[in-house]
Amino acid sequence: MDVGCPECDGTVRASVPPGPGRSDGQGRGHLRGTETRCRNCGHELEFYYY
């Protein structure tokens, strides 16, 4: 996934693991997260996903 850095407008790449999406078929849709840094300016970004 590519997003823009809010500090420098550089492109930040983050990988989100494959999965079932919002629900795993058993009614659980737990929000998960990962952190990464912009390689251009060092700004830390947090990505949240299901």
Q: Which residue has the higher pLDDT, 41 or 16?
A: 41
Model confidence band, residue 50 (pLDDT cutoffs 50, 70, 90) = confident
Q: What total of structural domains would you count in the chain? A: 1
pLDDT tens column, 10-36: 999 888 777 666 655 555 667 888 899
Strand partners, 21: none
Residue for token pair 């060092």: 42
Tell me which residue range forms the domain holding 32: 2-49
How many angstroms from the chain centroid is the CA of residue 3? 9
The pLDDT value given to residue 11 = 92
